[in-house]
Amino acid sequence: MARIPESDYGNSPYKKIIGNNPAIHEKWVGLEEEFFRHPTLGSKLLEQVRRVSAWGQECEY
């Protein structure tokens, strides 16, 4: 199995992989910030999305 090296960008394993392309990392972080700045989905649903995303990325949040 191939391994993708982690970059110096990001504070989670997933973001460190995305950080290999700084333009994508920047936009991903912006999207994440928008979701939490304008929680039209509601805080409980956003928390559930965060948990499912973390589990799928095998991150221990």
**More confident: 52 or 6:** 6
Arithmetic mean of pLDDT, 8-34: 85
**DSSP letter at 28?**
H
Residue ranges per domain, the chain?
13-56
Q: 32 pLDDT exceeds 60?
A: yes
Kind and range of the H or E element at 31? helix 22-37
Q: 6 pLDDT exceeds 70?
A: yes
- The pTM for the full model equals 0.55
Inter-axis angle of helices 43-56 and 22-37, nearest 10? 150
Other CB atoms within 10 A of residue 18 CB: 21
Other CB atoms within 10 A of residue 32 CB: 13
